[in-house]
Structure 1
Amino acid sequence: MLKRLLAKASPILGTQSDWLGLCLLCRQPCDDTPLLCSWCRHAQRQHDRRCLMCAAPLPEQHRESELLCGRCQRRPAPWKRLQVIGDYQAPYAQLIPRLKYSGQILLAPLLARLLADHLDLANPPQVIIPVPLHWWRQWWRGFNQAEEIGQALSALTGIPCDTRVLRRTRSTPQQTRLSAGQRRRNLRGAFEIEPHHYRHVALLDDVVTTGATAGQLTRLLHEHGVTTVEVWAICRTLRHLK
């Protein structure tokens, strides 16, 4: 009976082994963390030193006192800091599409837990603001993956998650194959902002690719009273942000 119920629920819960206490990555029994064993959690720490602004791995010869890569020193991003778990490669290149396109919502709290383990919260933001989807795309998908991760992250950190501040008012073409410049043009006029009282926010997305979406929203938040914007994401792509 249990196996039949799990089989019916698998589109939402993921595979049966995920729900029955096996590590999502190595398929060994989990010890202290649902869905991921402590060994695999530790193994996800890809790089200890990353650029504060774009999260690119810093080379070993990079001076300890320099917190930015050379490119970000020459051309800084509009946000203050980008925090990620790692680069967009295994296992995130498999887990994130399973969450977004296969409806395996159980992966959202897992990814939130991994991100929480990596965050520097010495000076925490007032609020987590997920990157919004257009209502049509959210209706079609059934959820916004950034909101699902944000709500789980809020429960872990105690930082409120506010999904009402930003709205996507225009449905834009998928950006997967667009260049950085095309993405910026694609996003012009696509977002609106509601009245708020925040000054320090964390903008949350699943993946930061070129930084076009994060940059557009950061500038919009700055125009409406926010003084400090951090960008949080599960991972960044291997190419350098524009």
Structure 2
Amino acid sequence: MDAPIWWKKLSRLGLPWRCQLCGAPGADGIDLCDGCIADLPRNTSCCARCALPLASPIALCGACQRRPPPWDAAWSPFVYGWPLDRLEARFKFGGDLACGRSLARLWRDMPMPLDRPELILPVPLHRQRLRERGYNQALELARPLARALSVPLRHDVLLRNRASAPQTELDARARQRNVRKAFALKPAAALPAHVVIVDDVMTTGATLAECARTVKRAGVARVDVWALARAPARRG
């Protein structure tokens, strides 16, 4: 969520930007310093279909060659690793919305490599999880993107119709079972031909895949998935 105008003005007058990672003076307009911003792992070499970080650029990773995911393209500008994972954990699990604003600003400033969509849908939280957390981290990241791109955003179209266990505690197969039929569309929702689904982190892609299937079943021609960060493949 972008900071309000009055807060930006106050910051310029008396409260300097301060890096949320190392405490050094922040860069202009963000609570991160230039050095820590440079340390954030960029996802510059990745699979064109699922954004999985790769050692060398190829069109598709092995998994996408064997079984393409249900979405059409993916964009994930960062790799989920140090020190971005520290900011993400504070934002998602620690209630630190200031870290969320910094992450949203970083994402908003990255060049978008894909076609501009007609609608952005954040991955929804179940109402029980939303009450516990107080906000939906995917929505907080999606709002600045939607504003910067002048693309409509709807948070009341894609719905989570049942609670499920946290994905972080599950392996890849269990993640797929955990989110199966967990999402639905608002009845009589009218969707355009090109929709993007936004989340904070893509690990196995199970959540985004189930969301994409839900939207595709409604007749949407192209569904892309965007995530702030993509987790590298697990070894062993």
TM norm structure 2: 0.84
Q: Is 1:54 aligned to residue 50 of structure 2?
A: yes
Shift in Å, 1:46: 2.7
Question: 2:33 — aligned with what?
Answer: 37
Question: 1:140 — aligned with what?
Answer: 132
Superposed CA offset, 1:16-48 (max 9, x none): xxx741122343222333212344434435342
Shift in Å, 1:121: 5.1
Distance (Å, rounded) in 1 between the aligned partners of 2:206 and 2:116: 24
Shift in Å, 1:122: 5.2
Q: How many residues align?
A: 218
Please, which moves more after superposition, 30-39 or 86-95?
30-39
Match of 2:97 among 94, 105, 109: 105
Distance (Å, rounded) in 2 between the aligned partners of 1:121 and 1:87: 16
Structure 1 residues 206, 100: closer, same or farther in 2, change over 3 A?
A: same
Please, which moves more after superposition, 201-210 or 112-121?
112-121
Structure 1 residues 109, 193: closer, same or farther in 2, change over 3 A?
A: same
TM norm structure 1: 0.82
Superposed CA offset, 1:43-97 (max 9, x none): 435342211112123334x5xxx42223322221111122112222112211111
Unmatched 5+ stretches in structure 1: 1-18
Fraction of identical pairs, as percent? 38
Please, which moves more after superposition, 112-121 or 166-175?
112-121
1:1-242 correspondence runs (5 A): 20-44=16-40, 46-60=42-56, 62=57, 66-120=58-112, 123-194=115-186, 195-239=189-233
Question: 2:9 — aligned with what?
Answer: none
- Runs of 4 or more consecutive aligned structure 1 residues displaced over 6 Å after TM superposition: none
SS of 2:89's partner is helix
> Does the 8 Å CA contact 1:109/1:153 hold for their aligned counterparts?
no
What RMSD over aligned residues (CA atoms) do the two structures have, in Å? 2.0
Unmatched 5+ stretches in structure 2: 1-14
Shift in Å, 1:222: 0.5
Superposed CA offset, 1:129-182 (max 9, x none): 100000111011111111111112222322222101111111112221212221
SS of 1:106's partner is helix
Question: 1:8 — aligned with what?
Answer: none
